[in-house]
Amino acid sequence: MTGPRDADISESAEYQLEFADLPHLLRAWRAEAGAKLGRGKALPQKEVALRMGVSERWYRALESGAQVPLTSDTLTQLADALVLGPDERTALYSYRLAEVSDERQPTDDIRRYGRLKEFVDAQTMFPAYLIDQAWNVIAYNALMARWFPWVREPEANLMRWVLLNPDSRVQLVDWRKQASLYLAQLRFALFRNPDDPTLQDLLTGVRREPICQELWDAGPRIIAFRQGGRFRLELPHVSPTELVVTAQVLLPAYLPGARFVTLMPA
């Protein structure tokens, strides 16, 4: 069994990241590892295997998509060998390891989110909102609606607003940087939930927008959660001067993917 030529990995469109495909991620991460280690090209499969302490044949099989045993220790060795950061490690572990939380959740929105909606509404000091795993806005407080009136719209979606609404490019200072960070979160979400219809729809929209497609293709960056993410905002209807806030993110227990977020002064 032979693997792809390492020299081609960073150049060929064939190796653009496919969100639900571990082999494509491994190839992209080998290219990233080579850059991090100052090699100027992707780490060879043989070196990754050596760094892991496994056979080259075993690693080639993994990167080709074969079903090979992956224990927690093996995942750690793989992450170390590829010089992965914490978010990439989270994505890698979630590929094989089961969720700790109870998957048998009630499907009724009132039962799932009722008390959390009350909690969001009770926040009066800072803008606050609740989103699900696909960035659909589930709840928001009065300050959030004042800062960002679009949250009142039916089927409001934070990711769609950031990436595809022209208003975001005015209100979010350094929009390209912020869009890249949101795309890295979208990549993580798609890797964990590749069949989610809303995420699929978001990806379709991204690929229709030239700037977003360019940013998507720029690299295999993955971000799990942006705790403490810093935003500079131009909101003349709120403040005559630029606002600088950080996003404080809480993950509600037993609601996988849901996030409670407050925007606090930086």
Residue 73 shares a structural domain with residue 160: no
Nearest by Cα to 203 from 155, 135, 261, 249:
135
Distance, in Å, from the CA atom of 41 to the CA atom of 181, rounded to the nearest integer, reads 24
Q: What is the CA radius of gyration of the chain?
A: 20
Q: Does residue 101 lie in a domain region?
A: no
Domain count, the chain: 2
Residue 161 shares a structural domain with residue 203: yes
* pTM beyond cutoff 0.85: no
Residue 84 shares a structural domain with residue 121: no
Per-residue pLDDT of the chain (266 residues; tens, 9 = 90+): 333 333 333 323 333 334 446 787 888 888 888 888 998 888 999 999 999 999 999 999 988 888 777 888 888 899 899 998 877 887 777 665 433 333 444 445 556 677 888 899 999 999 999 999 899 999 999 999 999 999 999 999 999 999 999 999 999 999 999 999 999 889 888 877 888 899 999 999 998 999 999 998 887 678 777 778 899 999 999 999 999 999 999 988 777 778 999 999 98
Q: What is the pLDDT of residue 140?
A: 96
Q: What is the pLDDT of residue 228?
A: 81
Residue 92 shares a structural domain with residue 211: no
Residue 125 shares a structural domain with residue 233: yes
Q: Does residue 104 lie in a domain region?
A: no
Residue 13 shares a structural domain with residue 72: yes
**Chain position carrying tokens 């964990």:** 192
- CATH number of the domain to which 205 belongs: 3.30.450.180
Q: Which domain holds residue 255?
A: 109-265
With H, G, I as helix, E, B as strand and everything else as coil, classify residue 205: helix
Distance, in Å, from the CA atom of 234 to the CA atom of 36, rounded to the nearest integer, reads 35
Q: Does residue 258 lie in a domain region?
A: yes
Q: Does residue 1 lie in a domain region?
A: no
Give helix 175-192 / helix 86-96 axis angle, nearest 10°. 20
Would you state the structure tokens that stand for residue 250, as one six-digit string?
A: 């809480």
Q: Does residue 141 lie in a domain region?
A: yes
- CATH number of the domain to which 82 belongs: 1.10.260.40
